[in-house]
Homo-oligomer: A and B are copies of this chain.
């Protein structure tokens, strides 16, 4: 690799102590990858100690939210060492997100160099417990200091990492969000950009007060069919078959969603990608036709949904945790954590680099 390694990286890594309690996304690895883009030209990447960014107060990202990101994980496997899961998918999606916000796509080679370098140097920080992993957060921000509403001429790309537990554990209570939207038709719903998440925070705050965990977002065009949860895609199980909202431009195409579909079909399940009407779904939950529901995402893996809340009503799902969800979760983790055969070629092994 041509990446420059800052001499201080070794000291940072040697001085790092893994805390006992990880949580999600709060313990940060002591190094990060960085590359800059000026007027369309990318610098080569460098691995440096994790440290505050210096941003001009007029930087575009701070005013016009010119930012996009990815979430991915490095897993520790007993026989194959450290591996990333389908990283080329994240590279492609970051490029798609960047283009939606008029940002220069991070070249795939640079993206891969970034996630590989961080993972290789942080190999010792990849947890060994099942369900835990080194969460990687590649992100791209517009840094030009200028208050006109226009695309930045300069950008910075980073890969930071966080040894983490799963984002959600146990059954989730989801709230059918009838008022707010996370992104518009013709908006940024199929891109992983900051603004979608900002728009979702108020809904999350409201539902937490009602004892729920996540918003279930409806399509902003019809406000009647299910799109996704923030950062997670949605599945149900009915008559032993899987149903998930078809991609429609306002749903983020999850890497885990795609993998679950492939995995489920390989395990013999029928998978329907279709529009899912929320009122029909709630009736099916109420009468038990909908046997299971679950959310999936890189951070959340697969999390069963136990209850749907909608206005004054709540609807308990017949099986939570559901057997199908559990089976898929285990099958996915078996591949990711190296207990099962990598029969789809999803795992991307990383050779650890030691600084000792």
Partner-B contacts on A (CB < 8 A): 24-26, 28, 32, 50-58, 61-67, 69, 99-102, 135, 137, 139, 141, 145-151, 158, 160, 162, 167, 179-188, 193-202, 204-205, 220, 223, 230-231
Q: Would you give the shortest CB distance from A194 to chain B, in whole angstroms?
A: 3
Give the complex CA separation of A220 and B199 in angstroms: 15
Closest to A54 in B: B52
Give the complex CA separation of A235 and B19 in angstroms: 59
Give the complex CA separation of A196 and B102 in angstroms: 14
Q: Are B102 and A201 in contact (CB under 8 A)?
A: yes
Q: Which of B58, B101, B197, B220 contacts A149 (CB 8 A)?
A: B197
A101 cross-chain contacts in B, Cβ below 8 A: 198-199, 201-202
Q: Would you give the shortest CB distance from A148 to chain B, in whole angstroms?
A: 5
Sample of 10 more A-B contacts, CB < 8 Å, known A149-B200, A181-B184: A24-B148, A28-B58, A50-B57, A52-B57, A55-B55, A63-B69, A65-B198, A150-B204, A187-B187, A188-B199
Give the complex CA separation of A193 and B196 in angstroms: 11
> Which one of A51, A135, A146 has the highest number of Cβ atoms from chain B below 10 Å of its Cβ?
A146
Q: Would you give the shortest CB distance from A280 to chain B, in whole angstroms?
A: 21
Q: Are A167 and B195 in contact (CB under 8 A)?
A: no
5 examples of A-B residue contacts, CB within 8 angstroms: A53-B62, A149-B204, A186-B223, A193-B195, A194-B195
A58 cross-chain contacts in B, Cβ below 8 A: 25, 28, 137, 160, 162
A57 cross-chain contacts in B, Cβ below 8 A: 28, 32, 50-53, 158, 160
Q: Are B54 and A220 in contact (CB under 8 A)?
A: no
Q: Which of B149, B187, B201 contacts A201 (CB 8 A)?
A: B149
A69 cross-chain contacts in B, Cβ below 8 A: 63
> Which one of A32, A53, A201 has the highest number of Cβ atoms from chain B below 10 Å of its Cβ?
A201
A199 cross-chain contacts in B, Cβ below 8 A: 101, 183-184, 187-188, 195
Copies of this protein in the assembly total: 2
Give the complex CA separation of A139 and B63 in angstroms: 7
Give the complex CA separation of A158 and B62 in angstroms: 11
Q: Would you give the shortest CB distance from A82 to chain B, in whole angstroms?
A: 20
A54 cross-chain contacts in B, Cβ below 8 A: 52-54
Q: Would you give the shortest CB distance from A352 to chain B, in whole angstroms?
A: 23
Q: Which of B26, B62, B185 contacts A141 (CB 8 A)?
A: B62
Pairs A-B, 6 closest by C-beta atoms:
A195-B195, A25-B147, A65-B194, A184-B184, A181-B184, A65-B65
Q: Would you give the shortest CB distance from A46 to chain B, in whole angstroms?
A: 14
Q: Are A194 and B25 in contact (CB under 8 A)?
A: no
Q: Are A137 and B220 in contact (CB under 8 A)?
A: no
Q: Are B220 and A150 in contact (CB under 8 A)?
A: no
Known: A57-B158, A184-B185. Contact between A64 and B198, CB under 8 A? Answer: yes
Give the complex CA separation of A197 and B25 in angstroms: 27
Q: Would you give the shortest CB distance from A154 to chain B, in whole angstroms?
A: 13
A223 cross-chain contacts in B, Cβ below 8 A: 185-186
Q: Would you give the shortest CB distance from A263 to chain B, in whole angstroms?
A: 25
Q: Would you give the shortest CB distance from A45 to chain B, in whole angstroms?
A: 15
Q: Would you give the shortest CB distance from A66 to chain B, in whole angstroms?
A: 5
Known: A55-B52, A102-B205. Contact between A179 and B184, CB under 8 A? Answer: no
Q: Are A195 and B52 in contact (CB under 8 A)?
A: no
